[in-house]
Amino acid sequence: MRLIATWIALTLTFIVPASAHPSIGSAVSFAAGVAHPLSGLDHITAMVAVGLWAAVKGRRALWVWPLTFVTVMLVGGVLGLAQIALPFVEPGILASVVVLGLMVALAVDPPVWAGAAIIGFFALLHGHAHGAEVAPSANGLEYVAGFALATAMLHAVGIGFGLTLQRVTPGPVNRIAGVICVAVGAGLCAGAL
């Protein structure tokens, strides 16, 4: 329980109280790309949940699921850069926080390919939101590289946290972390966070 409390405190301490989706045109550099996934509770929670779920699943999921997310997110980013519209991007991003948190909380154990499909669906939406923020006149490659790196780092945090919880306190502690993700998602959906 102390680890979970510490994780919550650190997360809330380092979250920049900014919109997760800055205005179009502010996304033009590598630093802005790195900062973007770290600037919104929705992105942080979803990325960490992917890592937690991969840690719960273990084995191949430890690398397949984060790699799937980053790869498909880049595809979504290209669609956003090209201004190709996708429906329900923002509601889908919010749903990703709840759904991925539920996967951890309920210790859902699908085949690796099925988990990758779920993760890939949400990654497409997150990537589209990132890519759509790049000004049409800007070269978005630096920004894309930045948000891919930050996303991979958040996945690594989730995996590390999940594996540490399994070693230190075997049992339902990862599930509690999943419940926290669900609570954050519900708070975001309700407009309370």
Query: Which one, of 119, 103, 122, lies nearest residue 174 by Cα?
Result: 103
Query: Would residue 8 count as lying in a domain?
Result: no
What integer pLDDT is reported at residue 81 of this predicted model? 86
Query: Would residue 7 count as lying in a domain?
Result: no
**How far is the CA of 155 from the CAs of 81, 88, 111, 134, in angstroms?**
23, 24, 19, 23
Classify residue 127 by its DSSP letter.
Answer: H
**8 A C-beta contact, residue 123 and residue 15:** no
Query: Would residue 173 count as lying in a domain?
Result: yes
Q: What is the extent of the structural domain holding 49?
A: 26-190
Query: Would residue 85 count as lying in a domain?
Result: yes
Query: Would residue 6 count as lying in a domain?
Result: no
- Report the number of distinct structural domains present in the chain: 1
What integer pLDDT is reported at residue 26 of this predicted model? 56
Query: Would residue 99 count as lying in a domain?
Result: yes
**8 A C-beta contact, residue 176 and residue 4:** yes
Nearest 5°: CA angle at 15, between 14 and 16?
Answer: 110
Query: Would residue 157 count as lying in a domain?
Result: yes
Per residue, the 3-state secondary structure of 135-154, as one string, reads CCCCCCHHHHHHHHHHHHHH
| Cα(113)–Cα(150) distance, integer angstroms | 24
**How far is the CA of 5 from the CAs of 2, 8, 44, in angstroms?**
5, 5, 17
Query: Would residue 18 count as lying in a domain?
Result: no
pLDDT tens per residue across all 193 residues of the chain: 454 444 444 444 443 333 344 444 455 688 888 888 888 899 999 999 999 999 999 999 999 999 999 999 999 998 998 889 999 999 999 999 999 999 999 999 999 999 999 999 999 999 999 888 887 666 678 888 898 999 999 999 999 999 998 888 766 778 888 899 999 988 888 888 7
What integer pLDDT is reported at residue 170 of this predicted model? 66
What integer pLDDT is reported at residue 12 of this predicted model? 44
Residue bearing tokens 């759509």: 132
